[in-house]
Amino acid sequence: MTEPHAIPKFPESYWSESSSRLSSFPALEQNIESDVAVVGGGISGITTAYLLAREGFKVALLEAGRLLNGTTGHTTAKITAQHDLIYDELIHREGEEKASLYYKASMDALQFIKQTIERDKIDCGFSKQDAYVFTNSDEYINKLEKEMAAYSLLGIPGEYTDQIPLYIPAKAAVIMHNQAQFHPLQYLSALVLKYIEAGGAIYEQTTAVDVETGSIPEVITSKGHRIKCKHVVSCTHFPFYDGHGFYFARMHADRSYVLGIRIEDKFPGGMYLSAEDPKRSIRYAETAEHDKLLLIGGQSHKTGQGICTINHYEELQRYAGMHFRIKEIAYRWSAQDLVTGDKIPYIGRITASSPNVYIATGYRKWGMTNGTAAAMLIRDLILEKDNAYEGLYAPSRSISFETIKNLVVDNADVAKHLIAGKLEMVHKRPEDLALDEGSVVKLHGKRAGAYKDEEGKLFLVDTTCTHMGCEVEWNNGERTWDCPCHGSRFAISGEVIEGPAEKPLKTLQL
């Protein structure tokens, strides 16, 4: 991947620009004891911590950076059980009962969000919307018909149509009625405040790096402090503690891009997703100025394997320009989420041998419902209450032959990148870099990573990923080093931004 020009920085995501910031919370500076340690300050960690604190547990919520600054702060926040085309596939691969459970779990999550907003009077732009998967490709019409048949079989309220209310050509669409959208940070900030009222503790800038398992597990932070607790919950995408579950080989990280666009046109409502590639996800957000900000997402690719970052934004802008009159591109952001081999999240006990360590991950870019369902399930597991979805999401579930095939393909892809990165010929030298430019360079005869900041300061890192040795690539949009194998991301100075890597890239000298 070549990234020739640095691209201008845009504001933070629309969500973080348009919600009042939570005050910052102190880092953990001593050993503590708690009933539960929840790690990860996104939708799943915050909702889990909130629910457990309401049940009377003493909870410590740990976050490596700031709360709500991960994928949850960079989502498009459709709250829906329409997770692309999934129900026909689930019926055929997992059976009707599991497909039905998947739908019900997502709808329970939607209901939970709605009822919480109503009960706690949370002002977060929640509105009921119909969700559409649409296609303009003859090849996909049959797939949409099958999806509609799956809706009918499972009793999902839906409709098949040959037109959508947008000025976007569509030959067919499947509608799921009564879904919703909201402002995720306004909603979750309210949950954080309720969590604190219920006695919950929060530690930001606190990275969990390991768990000493046992009847009283201890979470260990990167500064060596310990949290002694009865239960540990990892809501950190790849679990920060793998526990021999080999999660890095069972999921992959997928990145997507979003534009926030002010448009001249009226937006008719609804939330849309194209069935065919390249995927296009469309919704609007009501802004404080009472105009509608169009959110267009897409251009997914495995982390570290995309084309030059700016091309992703240009493609989205080109698409938006074909169907809407653009006033201004106001926001631009990207983020990643994890995908499991069978497209069903991993929520539950990490392994049978560590029953008091739980994970919640693999939401496949549907974490508003999946992340909420995760919190409800983990609460019930800790309370030892029955939950109808335990088997569906169990990380230890048996997987089908088709899923194993997908995993083999993913792992072959990892092996390919492991070798390709090592063989790559590099000619550029650190001194060739312009200001605010990053690139793979040749340093002392070896491949290295270099970034020259706007003041001319040079940052040099070893591009060998500290997870399993693949070669990281430069991400021009985010100014980060991204690993094509399992999606770890590192800052210009080498610190880990996203795992599974735990250790920073080695820094180098000229």
Ligand X SMILES: Cc1cc2nc3c(=O)[nH]c(=O)nc-3n(C[C@H](O)[C@H](O)[C@H](O)COP(=O)(O)OP(=O)(O)OC[C@H]3O[C@@H](n4cnc5c(N)ncnc54)[C@H](O)[C@@H]3O)c2cc1C
Residues contributing to the site for ligand X (CB under 6 A): 39-45, 62-65, 69-72, 75-78, 207-208, 235-237, 240, 256, 258, 297, 335-337, 363, 365-369, 371, 499
CB of 265 to ligand X, least distance (A): 21
63: partner contacted, choices ligand X, ligand FES, none (Cβ within 5-8 A by kind): ligand X
> Residue 310 or residue 418: which is nearer to ligand X going by CB?
310
Q: Is there a contact between 447 and 426 (Cβ–Cβ < 8 Å)?
A: yes
**Residue 508 CB, nearest approach to ligand FES (Å):** 18
With CB under 5 to 8 Å by kind, the binding choice for 486 among ligand X, ligand FES, none is ligand FES
Integer Cα distance of 36 and 59 in angstroms: 5
Q: Are 7 and 476 in contact (CB under 8 A)?
A: yes
Cα separation, 12 vs 72, whole angstroms: 13
508 DSSP 8-state letter: -
Please report how close the Cβ of residue 362 comes to ligand FES at its closest, in angstroms: 16
User: Of the two residues 36 and 251, which places its CB atom closer to ligand FES in the complex?
Assistant: 251
To ligand X, the closest distance from the beta carbon of 498 in angstroms equals 7
Question: Binds 39, which of ligand FES, ligand X, none (CB < 5 to 8 A, cut-off by type)?
Answer: ligand X
> Residue 483: which of ligand FES, ligand X, none does it interact with, CB under 5 to 8 A by kind?
ligand FES
Residue 43 or 470: the one with the smaller Cβ distance to ligand FES is 470
Q: How far is the CB of 251 from ligand X (least distance, A)?
A: 12
Q: How far is the CB of 80 from ligand X (least distance, A)?
A: 7
Q: Which is nearer to ligand FES, 184 or 304 (CB)?
A: 304
Contact of residue 488 among ligand X, ligand FES, none (CB under 5-8 Å per partner type): ligand FES
Q: How many CA atoms lie less than 13 Å away from 105 in the CB half-sphere?
A: 30
Q: How far is the CB of 60 from ligand X (least distance, A)?
A: 11
Q: 50 or 481: whose CB is closer to ligand FES?
A: 481
DSSP run (H or E) holding 414: helix 401-423
Smallest distance, ligand X to C-beta of residue 345, A: 9
With respect to ligand X, which residue has the nearer C-beta, 302 or 452?
Answer: 302
User: CB of 471 within 8 A of CB of 447?
Assistant: yes
Question: Which one, 301 or 397, has the nearer CB to ligand X?
Answer: 301
- Residue 439 — φ and ψ, nearest 5°? -170, 160
Residues in Cβ contact with 190 at an 8 Å cutoff, skipping those fewer than 6 apart: 120, 122, 124
Binding partner of residue 42 among ligand FES, ligand X, none, CB under 5 to 8 Å per kind? Answer: ligand X
From ligand FES, ligand X, none, which one binds at residue 485 (CB under 5 to 8 Å depending on kind)? ligand FES
Task: Write the DSSP symbol of residue 82.
Answer: -
Give which of ligand X, ligand FES, none residue 299 binds (C-beta under 5 to 8 Å, depending on kind). Answer: none
18 vs 71 by CB, closer to ligand X:
71
174 binds, among ligand X, ligand FES, none (CB under 5 to 8 A by kind): none
Sign, Cα dihedral of 375, 378, 379, 385: positive
Residue nearer to ligand X on the CB measure, 373 or 508: 373
CB 246 within 8 A of CB 395: no
Q: Is 161 exposed, middle or buried (0-12, 13-18, 19+ CB in 10 A)?
A: middle
**Closest separation in Å from C-beta 207 to ligand FES:** 16
**What distance in Å separates the CA atoms of residue 429 and residue 183, rounded to the nearest whole number?**
45
111-120: burial string, b at 16+ Cβ within 10 Å, e else: ebbbebbeee
Which amino acid belongs to residue 65? Answer: G
> Is 157 or 469 the residue whose CB approaches ligand FES more closely?
469
Binds 500: which of ligand FES, ligand X, none (CB < 5-8 Å by kind): ligand FES
The candidate with the shortest Cα–Cα distance to 464, out of 426, 417, 506, 416, is: 506
Q: Closest approach of Cβ 251 to ligand FES, in Å? A: 11
Angle, nearest 10°, between helix axes 96-119 and 367-382?
A: 90
Which of 421, 500 has the CB closer to ligand X? 500
Amino acid at 342: D
Shortest Cβ 154–ligand X spacing (Å): 19
**Beta-strand relationship, 280-286 and 158-161:** unpaired
Output 221 or 403, the one with its CB closest to ligand X. 221
Rounded to whole angstroms, what are the CA distances from 240 to 40, 153, 173, 359, 472?
9, 39, 40, 9, 20
Q: Whats the size of the chain, residue-wise? A: 510
Q: What's the DSSP call for residue 16?
A: H
Q: Which does 65 bind (CB under 5 to 8 A by kind): ligand FES, ligand X, none?
A: ligand X
Give strand pairing partners of 218.
212, 228
Q: Shortest gap between Cβ of 94 and ligand FES (angstroms)?
A: 28
Alpha helices in 31-181 (DSSP H): 43-54, 87-94, 96-119, 138-154
* Contacts with 428 (C-beta within 8 Å, 6 or more apart), sequence order: 439, 440, 441, 442
List the single partner that 366 binds among ligand X, ligand FES, none, CB under 5 to 8 Å by kind: ligand X
* Contacting residues toward ligand FES, per CB under 6 A: 248, 465, 467-470, 483, 485-488, 500-501
Question: To 5 degrees, how large is the angle CA 345–CA 350–CA 352?
Answer: 125
